[in-house]
Every structure is written in structure tokens, then in C-alpha cells.
Amino acid sequence: MASNPDETRTTALMSGDAYRESLRRYSPRVFVDGRAVESVADAPEFRPGVNALAVTYDFALDADKAPLMTAQQTLTGRTVNRMLHINESGGDLLNKLEAVRLLCQETGCAQRYLAHDALNAIHQVCAHIDDARGGTEHRDRFLAYLEHAQAQDLSLGIAMTDAKGDRSRRPHQQGNADTYVHVVERNGKGIVISGTKAIVTGAPYMHEFLVMPCRNMGREDADFAVCCAVPVDADGITIVARPAGRPGEKAEHGEPLFSRRYGQSTAVVLFDRVFVPWERVFYAGEWEHSGLLTYNYATHHRHSCIGARAGFGDLLIGAGALMCEANGFDPGTKSNLREPMVELIKITEGFFACGVAASVYGTRDEHSDSFMPDPVFSNIGKLLLATQIYDMHRLAHEVSGGLIVALPGPDEDHNPATAATLSEVLRANPDVPYEKRIEVARFMEDLTASYQGGWYSVISLHGGGSPAAMKQEIWRNYPVGNKVELVERLLDRGVSAEQNRPITRNRQPGRCCAAGCSAPGQAVTVPLPKARR
């Protein structure tokens, strides 16, 4: 374990191609659409997903983007991909937010940020467990794993959401115990786990899984409280995946359809007596820490989701403006088009601003010494994007017109009987060639009105937790008590005798001192690459 802060080691950061090649070193058991997959690296069904992950590697090696896409990890002394970095300041939170936005502008959804969110949450929980018990066992184990993940520049899939069975019952009450991943055996060498994680992003083309509980656990649920790391091809793991994006869609004029190039596979991951050595077990049975792990992960992840969906918003804003232009309009002079465009900008930058606020008001976790975004702003930002994604699609449709779903298919582009006539009569702005108009119309359809468009809605709504989960966290963390005291003071009612009312216990978190939690003078952000400015 390298912990000498004077020693700056550079990780062998992989390129996108090296990442593609690295997948050949693993032989996971994968099925897609009912067929066994021999080689994930070569399977056309996963190519859009592998391409999206590859961008996270290539950007880290791009000199213009590297200051944002990499970070210096004091804990390990390495320069690491930001998607594997443990936050050391509020500036790190802001840079991660910007990095995720940049990646998702390029790919729609770059997926690898889930690893950042899980590593940060597990790091915090290991420190909490050690501090509660005394000792450094959990910290040491996690740091050894972090060193391994950063040195190998791994892609890590997050296996958190269990199949969950009957939602009204707790894990130990389920008729089938395998609806949750749980420990079935312990011995001197490690643990054996079985059960089902229902939704794992990018599972086939990850290197390892981080297995984590998805909810609060009670004492009777102790076997279900398990957090560990396993390679994707460990004996007993079966990955049942959906294709990434729309790999089967036909090509068209010019560039291939966006979701043929970039997309995201999700998979059900079945664990059947999978052995995990103790050095990869972060905890097993510590049910009382599961709530903290899910809370920390959810806070980091909702913060990242804000950056991700802002990147998607950028795509809609750009495509919306191009559709206006292709139709012959300048939204600057047509208020009926400017208004929906401004609404789209307001929504995107509105929830993104919550991510910025969550970074600025981020706090140092006293156990792990790492930084955590403010939970209220993280949850409000995620809640806004979850519900407003449908408005984003509506506004993009409003400025674009019906052509985005009514155009003849790509095969018609090459039909000698119709192609020339169509390109004449379906041209609008004389300065924009027909091919350019239909290219942006199909891009808009792809992102908002296709299978992929529905997919972006559902990932925004449920990815990182359903709206109910965000509302619960906002209520739990919002300082309603401070506001009650404020009004009572203004009304001169006096509050001291009633301090024990539940509602006044809630105090404002995160605003601990005038200077905030970053050292004065500390750089907050690195310069943005041109693409984001």
C-alpha cells in the first residue's frame, strides 16, 4: 500500500482500445437475447456500451481534458481516472460533476461514474465501522482494494439493486431468499454468496462488480448485509443482459445513429454460491451499517446523475436549436420557439445548479476524511431531473415538429425512385441541405422518441432511486427546525420550552463555518475543456 504523499506515481491509465482489449482477459458467463455470448469484446450487442466506456478512458489521456478527467489521489499517491477517485475536497466534487457532464455530452450516458459513487460510499462506511469498533481492519482492506482498482484502471459494475421480491416484505421475510444477495457460508478463507441483483449497468463489459446492499437492514437481515468485490467471471456468476443502445438499428446518411454508437446495457446478475476471499469482503453481517452505505452511495450517485442528465440536456438543447435552423427559423427572433428553448435551458441548468450547490456545500466526512456532496441539494437536483425529463422531451418535440417520427426510414435514402424527390420537397431552410436536416431529425427521434428515448426517461426517473426515495431524503435532511425557530422568533413566541418537538430537531447541515469546509485559497475547479465551455 503506497501512502507516501511525496511519491507521485502515475497509474498506467488505459486507452479506450486497451480497455477493449482488457475485456479479453475475462471470460464471464453472459447471455443476451437468449443466446450465450462467447466474447464480450466482439459482441455487436454490447459494442455501443463498450464504446461509451472507452470514451472514459480516452478522455483521461486527452491533454485538454486530463485536468478534469483525472485526479491526484493522496491516499494511494496515484494519478487516477476521476471515475475511480476518492474526493478530497469540495473542488473534487465540482470537478467530478463537470467530468460526468462532459462524458455524457459525448456518449449519452458514460456509466463509469457509478464506480466513483460506490468507492466513495464504501470508503466512508469502512472508516465508520473501524471507528465504531476500534482498529483499522476495514480501512486497510478497502485501501488495498482501491489501490488494486486504481492501478489496473478498472471498470466496476455496481451490483446494488436486489431483485427484492415482494416489496412489502423485508429480505429475511421473502419466500425465496435468492431475491436478495446474501451470505450462505463463511469459512476461514472467505464467504460464499447467492442471490440476484436485478439491474446492473454495463455488467457484461465491466471487469469487477462491487456488491452492496440496497436498503436498510434489521438484525434478522444480517445475512443480507454484505458488501464485497468480485471479478465478473467468478465461478457461479451468470449475467443475463439486454443489448446496449440500439445496435440493430439501420445506418443512415453520414454518421451512424447515435445509439448504435453509444448505449448502455443493463443486466440481471445471478450469484450461485460465489466464493469471495476475505480480502475482498468489506463487510458481511454488519446490518447496522447498511443504511449508512445506501445513504452515502445514494447521495454521491444522485449528485453524479445530475451531471449525467445535464450532459443529455446539452444534446437536446443543441439538437433543438439545429432543428429550428433546419426548419428555417432563428429562435432569437421567433418567441414561440425561443420560449421552449429557454425552458429547456432553464430545466437543464436549474438542476445542474443544484449539483454545483451540493458540491460547494459538500462536507468532510470526519471518519474517512473524504468529501460528500450536500444531501439536500443532491436529492433536489436528482428529483428535478427525474420528473422534468418528460418536459425536456416535450420541449424538444415542440421545437422540432412531427417530422422526427414521420420521416421515411433510412433505406428510402437510397431508393432511386424516391430519394431525389424527397430531398427536394423535404428541404426547408435553403441553407441547410436535406441530408443535414434529416440527420438532426433522426438524432432527435433517437434521443427522445425511440426505444432509446423511453430508456432515457426511465433511467432519469428511477436510476439512483425512485422519486419517493429522494423526497424522503430531502425531508430527513432539510433543516425545517431552523425555519420553525425563525418564524417563532419573529412571532416572539419563544422556542426554548418546545425544543423537543420532532420538527425542530432538524438543523441545517453543512454550513458549519463562515469559510466553509474547503481551506481558504484552495482551487475549486480546474479549467473546463473547450467542449464544455
Ligand X SMILES: Cc1cc2nc3c(=O)[nH]c(=O)nc-3n(C[C@H](O)[C@H](O)[C@H](O)COP(=O)(O)OP(=O)(O)OC[C@H]3O[C@@H](n4cnc5c(N)ncnc54)[C@H](O)[C@@H]3O)c2cc1C
Residue of the chain from 108, 245, 331, 465 that contacts ligand X (CB under 6 A): 465
Cβ distance to ligand X smaller for residue 10 or 466: 466
Q: Which helix (H) or strand (E) holds 124?
A: helix 113-133
For ligand X, the closer CB: 132 or 458: 458
Greatest pairwise CA separation for the chain in angstroms: 86
124 touches ligand X by CB under 6 A: no
Nearer to ligand X, 113 or 352 (CB): 113
Smallest distance, ligand X to C-beta of residue 497, A: 37
Please state, in angstroms and as integers, the Cα–Cα distance from residue 300 to each residue in 8, 83, 115, 137, following that order. 27, 12, 10, 24
Which of residues 143 and 199 has its CB atom nearest to ligand X in the complex? 199
Contact mark string toward ligand X, 287..326, x via CB under 6 A: ----------------------------------------
Amino acid in position 159: A
**Adjacent-strand bridge partners of 209:** 157, 230
Residue 508 vs residues 124, 368, 492: alpha-carbon distances, Å:
21, 22, 21
Report if residue 200 touches ligand X, rule: CB under 6 A. yes
Q: How far is the CB of 223 from ligand X (least distance, A)?
A: 19
- Nine-digit cell at 219? 438484525
Nearer to ligand X, 13 or 469 (CB): 469
Q: Is 172 in the site for ligand X (CB under 6 A)?
A: no
Which is nearer to ligand X, 127 or 305 (by Cβ)? 305
The nearest distance, CB 84 to ligand X, in angstroms, is 16
Q: Is residue 201 near ligand X by the rule CB under 6 A? A: yes
Closer to ligand X at the Cβ: 78 or 289?
A: 289
3-class SS letters over 300-362: HHHHHHHHHHHHHHHHHHHHHHHHHHHCCCCCCCCHHHHHHHHHHHHHHHHHHHHHHHHHHCC
> Half-sphere exposure of 169 toward its Cβ, with a 13 Å CA cutoff?
13
**What three-state secondary structure class fits 66?**
helix
| Site membership for ligand X, residue 459 (CB under 6 A) | yes
Q: Is 191 in the site for ligand X (CB under 6 A)?
A: no
Place of cell 460464499: 192
Which stretch in 72-80, 155-163, 243-251, 363-371 sits in contact with ligand X by CB under 6 A? 155-163
User: Where do we find the cell 436485478?
Assistant: 198
- Choice from 55, 158, 234, 444 touching ligand X (CB under 6 A): 158
Of 204, 213, 102, 98, the residue nearest 155 (C-alpha): 204
Amino acid 287 reads W
Answer yes or no whether residue 167 interacts with ligand X by CB under 6 A.
Answer: yes
* List 115, 199, 385, 447, residue binding ligand X (CB under 6 A): 199
Q: Identify the residue among 52, 104, 160, 526 touching ligand X (CB under 6 A).
A: 160
Contact 358, 378 (CB under 8 A): yes
Residue 121 sits in the site that holds ligand X (CB under 6 A): no
- Nearest-approach distance from CB 460 to ligand X, in angstroms: 9
In angstroms, give the least distance from the CB of 45 to ligand X. Answer: 16
Torsion angle of C-alpha atoms 199, 278, 372, 156, degrees rounded to 10: -40
Q: Are 98 and 65 in contact (CB under 8 A)?
A: no
Which residues is 190 bridged to in the sheet?
Answer: 277
Q: Which is nearer to ligand X, 312 or 329 (CB)?
A: 312
Other residues' Cβ atoms within 10 Å of the Cβ of residue 350 = 15
Residue 272 phi/psi, 5° resolution?
Answer: -125, 95
Three cell numbers at 334? 421567433
Q: Does 228 bind ligand X (CB under 6 A)?
A: no
Q: How many residues bind ligand X (CB under 6 A)?
A: 18
What x/- string results for residues 245 through 284 when contact with ligand X is judged by CB under 6 A? ---------------------x------------------
Residues that bind ligand X (CB under 6 A): 114, 158, 160-161, 164, 167, 199-201, 266, 458-459, 462-466, 468
